[in-house]
Chain A
Amino acid sequence: MKKRVTLTFPTNIVQMPITYRLAKDFNVAANIIRAQVAPNQVGKLVVELLGDIDEVDAAIEWMRLQEIHVSLASGEINIDEDICVDCGLCTGVCPTQALTLDPETFRLQFRRSRCIVCEQCIPTCPVGAISTNL
């Protein structure tokens, strides 16, 4: 099974080779979607955990014991209206039509309720107007 989680590390264990431990001890592959890790700072990592359901749960349990905060909710998408040029390019890759162009004004519309935070729109935006609150 596949599970997307957001990990928040306290400053003291940012250095831990977490993906290595998950693979070796739990046979869980961790595909890093987004990372924000710097020495001596709280680190954040969005990963997709791939493995047997029991092992994924055991891995999450183990991470919590290491004082890593594990959140099953992934981030939210934010669109900076001052940066967005309403080109519409992101609307072509959004799988849920959370992003659409208004047929009259051709301005970008974002319906958050439809967004599954797949993040495909983020690298697509040519002016970097889309981010997650990670």
Chain B
Amino acid sequence: MRTIAEINEKISRRQAVAWTVEELKARVKESGVAKAFKQVDVICTGTFEPMESSGAIINLGHTDPPIKIRQCWLDGIPAYAGFGAVDLYLGATAMADYSSSDVLDGNLRQGTERERGGAHVIEDLIAGKPVQLRAIGQMTDCYPRASFENTITKESINQFYLFNPRNLYQNFIVGVNGGDRPLFTYLGPLQPRLANAVYSNPGAISPLLNDPDLQLIGIGTKVFLGGGIGYVAWEGTQHFPLQKRLPNRTPIGPAATVALIADAKQMNPYWVRGCYLHNYGPSLMLGVGVPLPVLQEEVVHHCAIQDKEIVAPVMDFSIPRRVRPTFGLVTYEQLKSGRITIEGKSVRVAPLASIYLSRKVAEELKQWIIAGKFTITEPVATIPQDRSFIAQDRRGSQFTLE
């Protein structure tokens, strides 16, 4: 048994032993769980994948005379302004909305490409680039100003932090297209007649698959987010811990999620990348690393899980329904081999998560811990493990294992 306080004490003396989750898996294979447990204090997991349910909170600072912003655009991308006077929320998937172009003059969206979304503006701000701001206010006695235009950078605004309602999906799906026309999806292009398949979770290295029942990760857990330090803020939206699970406790499809929060001013654009999925829309690729403190042997046991012991369902996107038909389950070992077999047909399969950068996140977090720069936290509350999944959403993730 170890405690978080003991581990932090070792971290501050730079004596903590941190391994990436892949190093742990290799060591367990070599010499077993008990021996690995004796040696390691912290196991570092990481992922780098599109996480579209992400966005940034921005507080601009007041103007003179002051303005209560009701509508706002950053580089032509609308940001939500229906709260504090100069508070904004810029969603990763927001796109230029041409419908309101008659409200302002036509120049507003000059230079706004369709493929650019909120995520790209977030990346630019993090990179220190200037961003055009246009705002329309509601004139009141407190806030007489009607409109405002400026150029902002991360240095010229008060708060700038990511607050992502749903990140770190614990497992996901594999997309295929059994129809006869190409489909453009949030997993990228899916070619007709099962010509390709795409998966988006990095499998056995993915943070939440190594703590399947969220016994270590909870509200308040400190994480690596986009190159800065962040925290688990809450359960994520669509958090569905009751997903069917294998005997090793990993879910057979999308399950737990977490909401993350972190100061964007500390982040590095290398780990925060605006992306665009062709004919679908913008999204945000994000590097997230989660340290797992090795408090008891069970932690090592869970982290030893291999790609061949984790499965994901193959879903047919040609039927645009909430509950899509599935072609059964495949293991991450099969997925990472580059080919899976569906109905007797060999189909090439590509990832959407960067496995290379996921590993690099875990390695970076490990270096921070070894160098004494990153201590770990005890969760202040657990994440509920009894949430059912209420159907109403447009993206189903409940399916049966028959």
Partner of A127, one of B196, B198, B285, B355: B285
Report whether over half of chain A's contact residues are helix, strand or loop; otherwise say mixed. Answer: loop
Closest to B359 in A: A106
Chain A residues within 8 Å of B283, by CB: 126
Give the tally of cross-chain contacts (CB within 8 A).
77
Chain A 104-122: CB-based contact to B (< 8 A → 1; otherwise 0): 0111000000000000000
B357 touches A86 (CB 8 A): yes
Chain A residues within 8 Å of B337, by CB: 103
B196 touches A126 (CB 8 A): no
Does B82 reach chain A (CB closer than 8 Å)?
no
Chain B 336-376: CB-based contact to A (< 8 A → 1; otherwise 0): 11100000000011111111110100000000000000000
Q: How far is the CB of B2 from chain A (nearest CB, A)?
A: 32
Give bound CA distance, A92 to B176, whole Å: 11
B356 touches A89 (CB 8 A): no
Report the count of interface residues on A (CB-CB < 8 A): 20
A87 with B278, Cβ < 8 A, contacts A92-B196, A124-B189, A126-B50 known: no
Give bound CA distance, A121 to B61, whole Å: 43
A87 touches B354 (CB 8 A): yes
Give bound CA distance, A92 to B278, whole Å: 14
Closest to B348 in A: A92
Partner of A86, one of B198, B349, B354: B354
Does B48 reach chain A (CB closer than 8 Å)?
yes
Give bound CA distance, A123 to B357, whole Å: 22
Partner of B278, one of A86, A103, A106, A123: A123
Q: Which of B198, B275, B356, B357 has the most CB of A within 10 A?
A: B356
A106 with B276, Cβ < 8 A, contacts A85-B48, A124-B189, A126-B50 known: no
Chain A residues within 8 Å of B357, by CB: 85-86
Q: How far is the CB of A88 from chain B (nearest CB, A)?
A: 5
Does A91 reach chain B (CB closer than 8 Å)?
yes
B276 touches A126 (CB 8 A): yes
A85 with B354, Cβ < 8 A, contacts A126-B275, A126-B277 known: yes
Does B191 reach chain A (CB closer than 8 Å)?
yes
Chain B residues within 8 Å of A124, by CB: 188-189, 278
Chain A residues within 8 Å of B278, by CB: 123-124, 126
Closest to B202 in A: A106
Give bound CA distance, A87 to B356, whole Å: 8
Chain A residues within 8 Å of B115, by CB: 128
Does B197 reach chain A (CB closer than 8 Å)?
yes
Give bound CA distance, A85 to B354, whole Å: 7
Partner of B349, one of A85, A87, A90, A92: A92
Give bound CA distance, A118 to B357, whole Å: 28
Q: How far is the CB of B355 from chain A (nearest CB, A)?
A: 4
A127 touches B354 (CB 8 A): no
Does A101 reach chain B (CB closer than 8 Å)?
yes
B275 touches A92 (CB 8 A): no
Does B273 reach chain A (CB closer than 8 Å)?
yes
B350 touches A88 (CB 8 A): yes
Closest to A82 in B: B270
A89 touches B188 (CB 8 A): yes
Does A42 reach chain B (CB closer than 8 Å)?
no
Chain B residues within 8 Å of A92, by CB: 188, 196-198, 348-350
A87 touches B191 (CB 8 A): no
B355 touches A126 (CB 8 A): no
B285 touches A106 (CB 8 A): no
B356 touches A126 (CB 8 A): no
Q: How far is the CB of B209 from chain A (nearest CB, A)?
A: 17
Closest to A126 in B: B275
Chain A 7-28: CB-based contact to B (< 8 A → 1; otherwise 0): 0000000000000000000000
A86 with B356, Cβ < 8 A, contacts A93-B191, A128-B276 known: yes
B196 touches A93 (CB 8 A): yes
B277 touches A106 (CB 8 A): no
A89 with B351, Cβ < 8 A, contacts A126-B283, A127-B275, A127-B285 known: yes
Supply 20 A–B pairs (Cβ within 8 Å), ascending by A: A85-B273, A86-B354, A86-B355, A86-B356, A86-B357, A87-B49, A87-B285, A88-B350, A88-B352, A89-B198, A91-B338, A91-B348, A92-B348, A100-B338, A101-B338, A103-B337, A103-B338, A107-B356, A124-B189, A126-B352
9 further contact pairs, Cβ within 8 A, besides A88-B352, A90-B350:
A86-B355, A86-B357, A88-B355, A91-B338, A92-B188, A93-B196, A106-B359, A123-B278, A126-B285
Closest 10 CB pairs of A and B: A92-B350, A126-B275, A106-B355, A86-B356, A92-B196, A123-B278, A87-B354, A106-B356, A88-B351, A91-B350
Measured CB to CB, the residues of B under 8 A from A are 48-50, 115, 188-189, 191, 196-198, 273-278, 283, 285, 336-338, 348-357, 359
